[in-house]
Chains A and B, each alone.
Chain A
């Protein structure tokens, strides 16, 4: 925890992730070379596919919207010392809430439906996070295990509901009828992609999370409890309440994914709509250093990888979808697990630079 302080912010938040990303892309390029394709052409396709046209930028930001919600969810729990692996299930059940609002009262004016849908999504996600949180706080059941299990329970519940209860009659596909058109999230013009108002909501939510974590007493209490539970108790903070509160907020944030995916794009509830965004959110939070600005940035990076990757496999059939997952995996590996690989040399390099730039060495070496 002391190490980041030794590096200036631009190195910690800019240079280091850039180096990690570069290393991941180099390795991925090597693998593409082994497959007999040109790594340069592949990288160009990837970059072009992610940001080469308004449409591809729109898709990148559309995917990023999901990752912002789940990344914030993971980060909020992380600040309170909790590792929430259950964003996937919370997003699934949150989406159920959003979807049910749209199915029930979707014909109402949009500006009434929207707050209801946000509330229902947040409530669904929070409800799904509540049980693991309660078990952790009162029974000490480890949150990692219980949230993983709740992902499976969520998916079993949703399969049951979509196959038996909510299915649109007279067809095979386990999905609901289409929402009323009035409840569709307005699509942002110009892009020609499903990028919609939910992206703006996500940015607003990111700002609110920043205010909450760093500018309120509650946020402070959560961070204290996360950093040192015994010190928190000594300071009069109840760790149980922090666990419950942080997980409820975390689940609520994940639950908003339905705003983008269901209200914004699919316009119906369908099987497995979170599509792994809950797990990508873990990588997004890790890479974004659990800071809303970092999370938005890394969510856009992951959105670009998804969108650029799908373009890559579209135009270069030999790089199939599994290869795209490998590239994404390498980015996660380098930015998460191997993060310290470049940190130690960078810290050493920076210390040397500091020594060089003190007055004595400055005289000896004026150009530095």
Chain B
């Protein structure tokens, strides 16, 4: 008995020891890990992994383009087992570093890199945007809704297209105002301008506005709150920011992707290749919790859930923006 216990103790020490050696890393994009949106969601996934397993991870926030490759190569050299690169802008750096270090696992989010040691995780953002467009159109009294994007890049057009299609699905005559915040990466972190764009859309008669603009969206939602209009959050569940004013959020579970990449790599079940996460895989969704229960009425929710089932079953085809 004693021997058995000793053995068990030794075994657990051994597993802890091997677990300690597992070293994951994450590289954030320009937005930084506290953008309350895309990068922060990734950071939450990594933090949750740390809480659940007690395994520390390395992290780095990018400040210039050349750093991406440098940092990833360095992480690989210092013995990271898996490196998660957050954001499509990291694709070319991942491609090069993954070639240099074929024994290190790489997971890239929002882009595709076709190499034997790279896992590419993409989301069908158009599906959650579609549902949010429906929600906006159903909640709108004026028949006019708005969209505020960060930069005019394909990823944001994907959000916008899904949103417009969803809105038209319930109200073919709906009018949608679309604005982009800027042309430099500063557009992801400019709440003042976000608020201004939202106000100008409200001025033109919109009463629901959806943002896909990172930290800029904080200003969009604040403006909606101030003017007594509705807003729709993005990437993270942002309903709690202004309860009663945030209609819902187009949730993108970057945190789940990061968590899964880390824990799969640790368990040895990590696989290279492409993963596309949509409504069916719980990769994207609209949010419904105690903060928006009052405004997202049962009638709207029923329509959204029906549409969700239809999208999963393939009865509704959500068009996807294709880069030219």
Contacts and interface: CB of A to CB of B under 8 A. Distances in A.
Interface string A172-190: 1111001000000000000
A93 B323 CA distance: 23
Interface in B181-230: 183-185
Contacts of B58: 317
Nearest to B71: A314
Contacts of B270: none
A308 to B, nearest CB: 12
B25 to A, nearest CB: 10
A167 B64 contact: no
Interface string A309-335: 010011001001100110000000000
Q: Which of A59, A62, A271 neighbours the largest number of chain B CB atoms within 10 Å of its CB?
A: A271
A164 B324 contact: yes
Interface string A259-301: 0010001101011110110000000000000000000000000
A172 B323 contact: yes
B91 A310 contact: no
A317 B151 contact: no
B32 A321 contact: yes
A354 to B, nearest CB: 46
Contacts of B158: 172
Nearest to A178: B92
Interface in A130-165: 152, 155-156, 158-160, 163-165
Interface in B13-46: 32
A3 B267 CA distance: 69
A273 B92 CA distance: 13
B152 A163 contact: yes
A317 B323 contact: no
Contacts of A165: 324
Given A165-B324, A266-B65, A275-B65, 8 more contacts: A159-B184, A163-B152, A167-B323, A172-B155, A270-B92, A310-B63, A310-B70, A314-B74
B60 A313 contact: yes
B176 interface: no
A170 interface: yes
A78 interface: no
23 contacts: A59-B66, A62-B66, A152-B183, A156-B183, A159-B153, A159-B183, A159-B184, A160-B152, A167-B323, A172-B88, A173-B88, A178-B92, A193-B70, A266-B92, A270-B65, A270-B89, A272-B65, A306-B64, A313-B60, A314-B60, A314-B74, A320-B61, A321-B62
B64 A276 contact: yes
A258 B112 CA distance: 26
Contacts of B92: 173, 175, 178, 266, 268, 270
Interface of A: 59, 62-63, 152, 155-156, 158-160, 163-165, 167, 169-175, 178, 193-194, 261, 265-266, 268, 270-273, 275-276, 306, 310, 313-314, 317, 320-321, 324-325
Nearest to A175: B92
B127 interface: no
Contact of A172 (B65, B70, B111): B111
B154 A174 contact: yes
A173 B90 CA distance: 9
Contacts, number: 95
Interface in B62-113: 62-67, 69-71, 74, 88-89, 91-92, 110-112
B183 A321 contact: no
A170 B70 CA distance: 27
A261 B154 CA distance: 24
B175 interface: no
A261 B91 CA distance: 17
A118 B277 CA distance: 45
Is the contact region of chain B dominated by helix, strand, or loop, or is it mixed? mixed
B63 A59 contact: no
B59 interface: yes
A321 B70 CA distance: 15
Nearest to A62: B66
Given A265-B66, A310-B71, A155 B89 contact: no
Contacts of A62: 66
Nearest to B96: A267
A306 B32 CA distance: 17
Given A173-B89, A272-B184, A314-B71, A163 B153 contact: yes
Nearest to A306: B64
B66 A159 contact: no
A52 B323 CA distance: 44
Nearest to A156: B183
B69 to A, nearest CB: 8
Contacts of A324: 63
Contact of A194 (B66, B74, B183): B66
A317 B61 CA distance: 10
A169 B64 contact: no
A173 B156 CA distance: 11
Contacts of B64: 275-276, 306
Nearest to A192: B73
A50 to B, nearest CB: 13
A273 B110 CA distance: 20
